[in-house]
């Protein structure tokens, strides 16, 4: 993680915030396995057209917003991509107030 972490944050100082956040690798792996094994939506992608979707992405994420658009939003054209400036992969750590504002607005 010490090698990979700097590529996922906008500011290296934010790695200290991440290090203070509890991460459970067992849970993360189970979630990843569950998504891979049970949530292939491609055959049913037309059903997503009736569901409001936003994708929040840090401007400096290793998977930058342009790449997310190519990988995801080109297949779900009604989804909205919201970019958080000066933010990497962990928006909840690097800019929690902006992420909370976006989520609150979306769910209202």
| Tens digits of residue pLDDT in 42-57 | 788 888 888 899 999 9
**Residue 102 structural domain:** 5-107
pLDDT band at 104 (very low <50, low <70, confident <90, very high): very high
Question: Which region among 26-30, 75-79, 83-87, 101-105 has the lowest average model confidence (pLDDT)?
Answer: 26-30
Q: How many domains does the chain have?
A: 1
Give the global pTM.
Answer: 0.67
User: What is d(CA 94, CA 87) in angstroms, rounded to the nearest whole number?
Assistant: 6
Per the CB < 8 A criterion, the answer to whether 66 and 59 are in contact is: no
pLDDT band at 14 (very low <50, low <70, confident <90, very high): low
96: alpha, beta or left? (left if phi > 0; alpha if psi -120 to 50): alpha
User: What is d(CA 23, CA 34) in angstroms, rounded to the nearest whole number?
Assistant: 18
């Amino acid at each position: 993680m010490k090698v990979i972490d700097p590529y996922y944050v906008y500011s290296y100082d934010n790695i200290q915030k991440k290090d203070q956040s509890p991460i459970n690798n067992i849970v993360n792996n189970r979630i990843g396995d569950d998504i891979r094994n049970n949530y292939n939506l491609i055959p049913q992608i037309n059903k997503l057209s009736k569901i409001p979707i936003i994708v929040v992405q840090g401007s400096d994420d290793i998977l930058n917003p342009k790449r997310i658009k190519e990988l995801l939003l080109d297949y779900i054209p009604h989804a909205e991509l919201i970019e958080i400036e000066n933010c990497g992969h962990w928006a909840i750590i690097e800019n929690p107030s902006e992420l909370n504002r976006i989520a609150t607005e979306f769910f209202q």
